[in-house]
Amino acid sequence: MSGDVDPPQDTRLGEFELIERFFSRVPRPDRPDVLLGVGDDAALISVPPNTDLVAAVDTLVAGRHFPHDCAPRSIGHRALAVNLSDIAAMGATPAWATLALTLPSAAAAWLEGFAAGLMELADAHGVSLVGGDTTAGPLTISVQILGHVAAGTALRRSGARAGDWLAVTGTLGDSGAALALATGRLATQDVAAAAAVMQRFDYPSPRVQFGAAARGLASAAMDVSDGLVGDLPKLAAASGLAAEVDVDCLPLSAALQTLVPLQQARQWALAAGDDYELLLAVPPQHWLALCDAARRLDLNLTRIGELCPGNGVRWTKSGAAFAAPAHGYDHFH
Amino acid sequence: MSGDVDPPQDTRLGEFELIERFFSRVPRPDRPDVLLGVGDDAALISVPPNTDLVAAVDTLVAGRHFPHDCAPRSIGHRALAVNLSDIAAMGATPAWATLALTLPSAAAAWLEGFAAGLMELADAHGVSLVGGDTTAGPLTISVQILGHVAAGTALRRSGARAGDWLAVTGTLGDSGAALALATGRLATQDVAAAAAVMQRFDYPSPRVQFGAAARGLASAAMDVSDGLVGDLPKLAAASGLAAEVDVDCLPLSAALQTLVPLQQARQWALAAGDDYELLLAVPPQHWLALCDAARRLDLNLTRIGELCPGNGVRWTKSGAAFAAPAHGYDHFH
């Protein structure tokens, strides 16, 4: 990082000044339910009546969850996006967030980019940053997101029943290609396809609106952050069921299919992670209504399999057993 | 750190297993208002009706907020204590927390100590750990604490009025002595006094019960984490007032006065930080009632000055101006 601001000699005195300078909006996008935002010992929030509060936290570490030379705007976007994806998986409405930002130096240019990426996405989802803590140290970003959902209606991983269909939003595997491009394991002359998958990786779109629309239709949901081979077993186990998936049905983007052979694309779709799509269990009688909801949001929704009694996940291809790859989350080191 | 658990090769797959293993209780201390805790994409919480939600986040970085060789139990205690202190400053009741833990390796012995320190304090305050994220990287701990307070009754920094008295709980400066001992800048033969100030530093006691008792009595409050010279100006500015403090009135522990000359003790009380006491503005007519509340909790409460029209802080000693030290937060590097 470079810039014209001195490193924070004191890690606490500067916290509010940093937050105020880079993460405030004039006029503030603060919601009327934010009774007290950044600047006191804690924030005060009025949670809407008859709702359940939804809380999640995710941390990004430089060199692990993004390359050290990643654009700061992308890091800011991603830090909030991965949390919004958790809120989406509950069918909830995101509302408030806090930011714990540990950074080696308070470089103005870096912070401006980071804040722009985070705040643009926050504004797009009506999220108010209500608090934060800035400390000096190795670049680490934790966002805690708070949201709300009508009492008793949140989607959980555990609600699926035998016979429910399995579906995923959007496309899978693009981030695997982006990681391969970023780390030099994949080269291409197809600039447009490369840009498409890099955009998917650098600026993931959490499926917040669709998650909310799926309440009352889907029986269970979670976000796909570790690849289907990492995540689907968790949903199946939480619901006490087995899952069967036809890998021929996995939704693959045109860009991904342009960049690599189908077999590689499928491997990434299964195991690469970082897609931030939603995995849903859907009672068949709700399928058409859920497809309508996806269509209204211009979002792909693809049936990939179903849930049945038992446990574990069975991967198939043309009706035969398919050897799915082991979980293969990539790190930048 | 050392231990017998392999470093987490994958930073996400292991998160729930780590959290479940080290941060769960059997039987769980989960509150009935925790509808869904660790193990889904997000936690679900039922916030009591007619309350405001209170949210704060604080980060601890190894080598900056605690020595690299600090006992893991102390780190776990401190990570929650600094957040509880923020809740105390609002007069609120802590209830739920999330933990973002970045650590170089998942050493079982270290995690056991860390979790013990954190969970003992959580249990003591009825706090339920509802979520977390564990990642591999340089040791960094962010706790986000959530609490609640009867709607409209939270203490803020901005509520003080001219004529209000200034008071602090407990004693100030002990952590300054502890830091000096830990970093070799101070040596002593007085083992008991050294142990007393180290205990204050390693296991700070957030003033949660007193903060709640001060609601309706104090007009403003904040916690003293950066030393009075760092914190008092913030309370005065937030209330649009000037403050005057008699440094002869600063409460100093017997251990601190045993370890160093009065002048040094006073310097640490003003500028060393890490005391996690409460600073309060108190209308004189509420003083006796607030003293009663402190007495019931076996807690010192000391009047140190007052607020008046104007701005800035005037430090006095025997009626004359006193040159307070600059903010002097110590780091371990």
According to DSSP H, which parts of A203-261 are helical?
A: 208-214, 228-239, 254-259
Instruction: Tally Cβ neighbours within 10 Å of residue A22.
Output: 22
B318 DSSP 8-state letter = T
Measuring CA to CA, which residue among A171, A169, A175 is closest to residue A203? A175
Boundaries of domain holding B175: 165-321
Is B54 a residue whose pLDDT tops 70?
yes
Report the pLDDT value the prediction gives residue A180, as an integer from 0 to 100.
94
- Residue B58 belongs to some domain of the structure: yes
Only one residue has tokens 């923020």, namely: B86
Is B140 a residue whose pLDDT tops 60?
yes
Measured CA to CA, the distance from residue A8 to residue A89 in angstroms comes to: 37
Per-window interface: B 125-164 vs A, CB < 8 A: 130-133, 135-138, 140, 142, 144-147, 149, 151, 154, 156-158
Give just the sign of the alpha carbon dihedral B244, B249, B255, B258: positive
- B65-91 pLDDT, tens digit per residue, is 888 788 999 999 999 999 999 999 999
- Residue that finishes a domain, picked among B150, B184, B217: B150
Is B194 a residue whose pLDDT tops 90?
yes
Q: How far is A89 from chain B (nearest CA, A)?
A: 7
Report the pLDDT value the prediction gives residue B330, as an integer from 0 to 100.
42
Q: Say if residue A145 is in the same domain as residue A169.
A: no
H/E stretch holding A58 reads strand A51-61
Q: Identify all chain A residues contacting B99, using CB atoms and an 8 Å cutoff.
A: 57
* Contact in structure between A42 and A96 (CB atoms under 8 Å): no
Q: What is the CATH number of the domain that holds B267?
A: 3.90.650.10
Confidence of residue A98 (pLDDT cuts 50, 70, 90): very high
- B102-119 pLDDT, tens digit per residue, is 888 767 788 889 999 999
- Residue A22 belongs to some domain of the structure: yes
Range A2-26 average pLDDT: 49
- Residue A302 belongs to some domain of the structure: yes
- B234-244 pLDDT, tens digit per residue, is 999 999 999 99
- Residue that finishes a domain, picked among B150, B175, B201: B150
Q: Which of A165-174, A271-280, B11-20, B218-227 has the lowest mean pLDDT?
A: B11-20
Q: Say if residue B106 is in the same domain as residue B233.
A: no
Q: How far is B207 from chain A (nearest CA, A)?
A: 13
Measured CA to CA, the distance from residue B84 to residue A287 in angstroms comes to: 46
- Residue A49 belongs to some domain of the structure: yes
Measured CA to CA, the distance from residue A95 to residue A266 in angstroms comes to: 35
- A186-229 pLDDT, tens digit per residue, is 999 999 999 999 999 999 999 999 999 999 999 999 999 889 99
Measured CA to CA, the distance from residue A259 to residue A187 in angstroms comes to: 9
Q: Identify all chain A residues contacting B154, using CB atoms and an 8 Å cutoff.
A: 36, 44
Among A46, A142, A222, select the one facing B100 at the smallest CB separation.
A142
Confidence of residue A135 (pLDDT cuts 50, 70, 90): confident
Interface contact flag, A100 B98, Cβ < 8 Å: no
Report the pLDDT value the prediction gives residue B31, as an integer from 0 to 100.
81
Report the pLDDT value the prediction gives residue B10, as an integer from 0 to 100.
40
Interface contact flag, B57 A226, Cβ < 8 Å: no
- Residue A326 belongs to some domain of the structure: no
Is B86 within 8 Å of chain A by CB?
yes
Is B272 a residue whose pLDDT tops 60?
yes
Q: Say if residue B140 is in the same domain as residue B24.
A: yes
* Contact in structure between A265 and A273 (CB atoms under 8 Å): no
A327 DSSP 8-state letter = P
The Cβ-side half-sphere exposure at A176, using a 13 Å CA radius, reads 28
Q: Say if residue A146 is in the same domain as residue A169.
A: no
Is B49 within 8 Å of chain A by CB?
yes
Interface contact flag, A40 B238, Cβ < 8 Å: yes
Q: Say if residue B36 is in the same domain as residue B79.
A: yes
Count how many pairs of residues, chain A against chain B, have C-beta atoms within 8 Å. Answer: 228
Report the pLDDT value the prediction gives residue A30, as an integer from 0 to 100.
61
Residue B243's φ and ψ, nearest 5 degrees, are -125, 145
Report the pLDDT value the prediction gives residue A271, as an integer from 0 to 100.
93
Computed over every residue of chain B, the mean pLDDT equals 89
Report the pLDDT value the prediction gives residue B213, as an integer from 0 to 100.
98
Report the pLDDT value the prediction gives residue B5, as an integer from 0 to 100.
33
Which amino acid, A328?
G
Interface contact flag, B11 A57, Cβ < 8 Å: no
Confidence of residue A8 (pLDDT cuts 50, 70, 90): very low
Q: What is the CATH number of the domain that holds A20?
A: 3.30.1330.10
Report the pLDDT value the prediction gives residue B27, as an integer from 0 to 100.
47
* Contact in structure between A231 and A166 (CB atoms under 8 Å): no
* Contact in structure between A169 and A282 (CB atoms under 8 Å): no
Report the pLDDT value the prediction gives residue A67, as an integer from 0 to 100.
80
Question: Which residue of chain B is at minimal alpha-carbon distance from A139?
Answer: B138
Instruction: Tally Cβ neighbours within 10 Å of residue B262.
Output: 11
Is B302 a residue whose pLDDT tops 60?
yes
Percent of chain B with pLDDT over 90: 74
Among A12, A42, A151, select the one facing B225 at the smallest CB separation.
A12
Q: Say if residue A290 is in the same domain as residue A226.
A: yes
Which amino acid, A161?
R
> Is the model more confident about B258 or about B2?
B258
Q: How far apart are the first and last CA of chain A?
A: 18
Its ipTM equals: 0.89
Range A159-174 average pLDDT: 98
Report the pLDDT value the prediction gives residue A62, as an integer from 0 to 100.
85
Q: Say if residue A184 is in the same domain as residue A252.
A: yes
Tokens of B38: 């660790």
* Contact in structure between A102 and A137 (CB atoms under 8 Å): yes
Q: Say if residue A128 is in the same domain as residue A217.
A: no
The C-alpha R_g of chain B, in whole angstroms, comes to: 20
Q: Say if residue B199 is in the same domain as residue B102.
A: no
Q: Say if residue B145 is in the same domain as residue B37.
A: yes
Q: Which of B28-42, B226-240, B252-266 has the lowest mean pLDDT?
A: B28-42
Range B294-318 average pLDDT: 97
- A228-242 pLDDT, tens digit per residue, is 999 999 999 999 999
Range picked from A12-16, A27-31, A63-67, A162-166 for highest mean pLDDT: A162-166
Number of separate domains in chain B: 2
Task: Give residue A199's Cα distance to chain centre.
Answer: 14
- Residue that finishes a domain, picked among B99, B121, B150: B150
Q: Identify all chain B residues contacting A238, using CB atoms and an 8 Å cutoff.
A: 39-40
Is A4 a residue whose pLDDT tops 70?
no
Measured CA to CA, the distance from residue B113 to residue B117 in angstroms comes to: 6
Measuring CA to CA, which residue among A177, A192, A205 is closest to residue A266? A177
- Residue A327 belongs to some domain of the structure: no
Q: Say if residue A213 is in the same domain as residue A253.
A: yes
Confidence of residue A68 (pLDDT cuts 50, 70, 90): confident
- Residue A307 belongs to some domain of the structure: yes
Is B166 within 8 Å of chain A by CB?
no
Specify the length of chain B in residues.
Answer: 333
Report the pLDDT value the prediction gives residue A19, as an integer from 0 to 100.
59
Is B28 a residue whose pLDDT tops 60?
no
Q: Say if residue B143 is in the same domain as residue B84.
A: yes
- Residue A92 belongs to some domain of the structure: yes
Q: Choosing among B17, B20, B41, B226, which should be mutated to test the A contact, i.e. which has the most A CBs within 10 A?
A: B41
Q: How far is A192 from chain B (nearest CA, A)?
A: 31
